[in-house]
Amino acid sequence: MANETHGKQRAEDWDAFSRNYHADSVTPFARGVRFRLRKDLRRLVAEWRSAKARRSRVFVDFGCGPGDALELVAGNVPLSAGVDFAPKMLRMAATRLRGHGVKAEVCRSTDGFRRIRDAGDAVGQGVGESQTLLVEADLRKLRAIRGCVDAATSINSICASNGRDASWMFGEMARSLRTGGRFFSVWPAVESLEYLFELDRSAGDAPGDRGEILRSDGVHVDATGYALKLFRAEEIRGLCDLAGLVVDVLAPVRYPWAYMRELGWGYYPNRRCLWDWYLIARATNSVRRRSRASS
């Protein structure tokens, strides 16, 4: 019951945050950020279209928010789905997709996950046939779609106040992938925030207004008391190994200082830019074995 209450409260928080989402959040989709996901997903869709096998392909954007990543694929594959626990975020995504000529149906997890499973089992669907779903669901509870997803994105959506919950959420996403499935994700970087604190100190500014990093768990607690788990590169590699994912790319996605200044994160134009970690990984057979063993 405590977890359910916590999940509900966080959904309400994100619904409130949705009003100014792009103005208040650091996002790799912002203007001026060189983010290779667009090119990577175009290449993925082209690969699927040229494949000899015509099995239905399933793409899921976990923590889709207002649909920034989902719009890059929606309408171009047999089934694309955005999963989020915040209803207002899903409605924003539906509006965004509609502006790009894609009709998306908002549904609850029971129906949405059933349709993802059915699409993943379908054979012989034409490439031109497509549907897009927006599924209201908890990212910690993805058992119903284990081994059903061909590719997934998670753009700074592994949001938890501690390492244990973050690891659990990531594991659920990883287990949703078919063997060989691709996972494209962005993770908030501990190293980047530590670097910002160093820049502040070098400039004679106390970083206290930015909060503190709890060294034991890599959790950032801001001035309001809000806690968010951040990740080191080696930690991400370790989590992938445990989840049965092979890392193909782990590289920084950097944010221009002009953009960071707009969001109140400082301005050091002659220094290296702040960053998040961009990961591309592939699911191995071990994911499916663990899925069956834990079912």
**Predicted local distance difference test score (pLDDT) of residue 291:** 40
Beta bridge partners of 52: none
Beta bridge partners of 217: none
**Predicted local distance difference test score (pLDDT) of residue 23:** 59
**Predicted local distance difference test score (pLDDT) of residue 289:** 38
Taking 50 as the pLDDT cut, the residues of the chain under it are: 1-9, 14-15, 17-18, 124-127, 286-295
Check: CB of residue 119 under 8 Å from CB of residue 137: no
**Predicted local distance difference test score (pLDDT) of residue 19:** 54
Check: CB of residue 10 under 8 Å from CB of residue 138: no
Cα–Cα distance, 231 to 217 (Å, whole number): 9
**What number of H helices and E strands is found in the chain?**
10, 11
**Tokens standing for 165?**
């919950």
**Predicted local distance difference test score (pLDDT) of residue 113:** 97
**Predicted local distance difference test score (pLDDT) of residue 55:** 64
Dump the DSSP string for 144-162: GGTT-EEEEEEES----SS
189: which DSSP letter?
B
**Predicted local distance difference test score (pLDDT) of residue 123:** 54
Cα–Cα distance, 53 to 151 (Å, whole number): 16
**Closest residue by Cα to residue 203 from 253, 274, 269:** 269
**Predicted local distance difference test score (pLDDT) of residue 21:** 55
pTM, two decimals, is 0.89
Q: Can you tell me which residue has the tokens 């090119």? A: 39
**Predicted local distance difference test score (pLDDT) of residue 7:** 42
Check: CB of residue 275 under 8 Å from CB of residue 253: yes
Cα–Cα distance, 197 to 212 (Å, whole number): 9
- In the CATH scheme, what is the homologous superfamily, with its name and number, of domain 2-187+231-294? Vaccinia Virus protein VP39 (3.40.50.150)
Check: CB of residue 119 under 8 Å from CB of residue 171: no
